[in-house]
Amino acid sequence: MRADAVVVGSGPNGLVAAVTLARAGRQVLLLEAAERFGGGLRSAELTLPGHVHDLGATVMAMALASPALRGLELKGAEFAHSPVAVAHPLDDRPAVLVHRDVRRTAAGLGPDAGAWLASVGALVKAGLPLVELLLKPLGPWPVAPRALAGAAWFGPMAALPATTFAKALRSVEARALLAGMAAHSMLDLRSPLTTGYGLTLAGLAHLVGWPVVRGGSQVLADALVAELRSLGGQAVTGHRVRRLAELDAPIVVLDVTPRQLLALADLPAGYRRRLERYRYGPGVFKMDWALDGPVPWRDPAVAGAATVHLGGTFEEIVLSEAEMAAGRHSPRPYVLLVQPYAADPTRGGHTLWAYCHVPNGSATDMSDAIETQIERYAPGFRDRVLARHVSGPAELEAGNPNLVGGDIGGGLAGLGQFLRRPVWSPAPWRTPLPGVFLCSSSTPPGPGAHGMGGWQAARLALRS
């Protein structure tokens, strides 16, 4: 197949790369091994007919903040917001709620209201220019004094472990909320950068919200494919590329992780050794449910949040993530739960998913541990279950080879690989092979449905 540019893989980064190249006038061919486009944006009827479940990403804060996606007119893709962005239930007191209004959220944190406004509130004040700077860690950077000033203020604080930042917080509510946000990093919360992950996600809840795509994340993937085709590009499913030698194009962009790149091409020895040292992060154990009604939360306010963090207090979540980082399975894991129906009633009923973090490649069944954590805050939950679907790390990787060992982030997100993704380079999207670029979440700025890796790789390819 001949084209000016071939993109292999149709996750968010591959899709954005393909559209960016097509907008620049290149004849683009997008190849996807699966039978549907989207990678982490796919949706399917996993439990019962008519019940739409997202196989990967559901909550799209990064998509709304991303300069790569904000500039696209994606027909048919509509974002829906729940009344509450995020909820964090607690055992002996009302749930902590994150509202779009930063001051309303701070008011629920008692003595830590000022600390929330001074940290998350300051990020919100700096606005999207600062977020864009964080999404483009290696440039090009906008000339925006407010963003640069915000980065100078935010950077030192973001580098702290969440356990260090939490020492400045006094209330159970604020500390628990920080832990739930920071645990999205899939790192031991005693690790550097975990404060930055937590505060950035919290800030996005106030800046753009934590919406879902109406009808399922697949709708966003399909809209990107439609945009590509409208620009004259071709998109083909069911075509697995086994060797780069198959491809005949001056530009090749790969939405794959280092492990797949090693199998696809004969690479220079030095670059190969660097890729072989690339570290993958923890995996996830995911469950999907079809319910006969909404989750029966003990605190009714939790029903208004599309995203719910389960795990209790700061200390409990720190312990859970430390166990996972040490290669063990927590009996009371931190659970990230999404109830899309709180924002989008069009998915065929009350669908629900949740996952917990597990060691990479784990074969342990965490179903009971996850459902027990839900029952802890929603007694009678199991009675609402009509059907369930379970996906351990092996099943996740079988459905999407980029999820190595169940790692949904494309590689460990710790300090050592924050910029060295997958190798240390001023342009890590470029490979030593002429015209071949890497764009997956294994490249900066890392995980999330933002498409920025694809945007950066495509821009670099066009300049080259």
- Residue 74 to residue 227: CA distance in whole angstroms: 7
DSSP reduced 3-state for 265: coil
- Residue 211 to residue 205: CA distance in whole angstroms: 9
- Residue 387 to residue 385: CA distance in whole angstroms: 6
- Residue 422 to residue 278: CA distance in whole angstroms: 6
Residue 142 has what pLDDT? 64
- Residue 95 to residue 201: CA distance in whole angstroms: 18
The tokens of 42 are what?
């796919």
The tokens of 87 are what?
């909820």
The tokens of 404 are what?
């190595």
Give the pairing type, strands 436-438 and 385-391. Answer: unpaired
- Residue 120 to residue 462: CA distance in whole angstroms: 37
- Residue 249 to residue 6: CA distance in whole angstroms: 6
437 beta partners: 253, 430
> What are the φ/ψ torsions at residue 229 (nearest 5 degrees)?
-65, -35
Q: Where are the alpha helices (DSSP H) in 136-217?
A: 145-158, 162-165, 172-182, 194-207
- Residue 398 to residue 350: CA distance in whole angstroms: 27
The HSE-up count of residue 326 (CA atoms within 13 Å, CB side) is: 11
Please enumerate in sequence order all residues whose Cβ is within 8 A of that of 202, keeping only pairs 6 or more positions apart, or say none. Answer: 98, 120, 177, 181
- Residue 390 to residue 217: CA distance in whole angstroms: 19
Say how many C-beta atoms besides its own lie within 10 A of residue 394's C-beta: 15
Residue range 5-41+62-77+214-278+402-463 forms a domain whose CATH class is alpha beta
DSSP reduced 3-state for 28: strand
The tokens of 12 are what?
């968010």
Sign of the alpha-carbon dihedral angle for 100, 75, 73, 446 = positive
Nearest to 285 by CA among 221, 201, 197, 373: 373
8-state DSSP, 116: H
The tokens of 273 are what?
């050794």
Say how many C-beta atoms besides its own lie within 10 A of residue 258's C-beta: 25
- Residue 456 to residue 283: CA distance in whole angstroms: 26
Residue 166 has what pLDDT? 98
Please enumerate in sequence order all residues whose Cβ is within 8 A of that of 230, keeping only pairs 6 or more positions apart, or say none. Answer: none
Domain ranges in the chain are 5-41+62-77+214-278+402-463
- Residue 218 to residue 55: CA distance in whole angstroms: 9
The full DSSP string for 385-432 is EEEEEEE-HHHHHHH-TTSGGG-TTSS--SGGGSS-SSS--SSTTB-S
- pLDDT tens sequence for the chain (464 residues): 579 999 999 999 999 999 999 999 999 999 999 999 999 999 999 999 999 999 999 999 999 999 999 877 788 899 999 999 999 999 999 999 999 999 999 999 999 999 999 999 999 999 988 888 888 877 776 656 777 777 888 889 999 999 999 999 999 999 999 999 999 999 999 999 999 999 999 999 999 999 999 999 999 999 999 999 999 999 999 999 999 999 999 999 999 999 999 999 999 999 999 999 999 999 999 999 999 999 999 999 999 999 999 999 999 999 999 999 999 999 999 999 999 999 999 999 999 999 999 999 999 999 999 999 999 999 999 999 999 999 999 999 999 999 999 999 999 999 989 878 999 999 999 999 999 999 999 999 999 999 999 999 999 999 98
Nearest to 44 by CA among 32, 31, 58, 33: 58
Give the pairing type, strands 385-391 and 283-291. Answer: antiparallel
Asked whether 175 and 89 are in contact (CB, 8 A), the reply is no
Please tell me the pTM assigned to this model. 0.95
Asked whether 314 and 269 are in contact (CB, 8 A), the reply is no
- Residue 232 to residue 281: CA distance in whole angstroms: 38
Angle at 347 between CA 332 and CA 310, to 5 degrees: 15
Residue 448 has what pLDDT? 94
- Residue 1 to residue 248: CA distance in whole angstroms: 7
310 beta partners: 335
- Max Cα separation, the chain? 63
Say how many C-beta atoms besides its own lie within 10 A of residue 237's C-beta: 15
Residue 223 has what pLDDT? 96
Say how many C-beta atoms besides its own lie within 10 A of residue 292's C-beta: 10
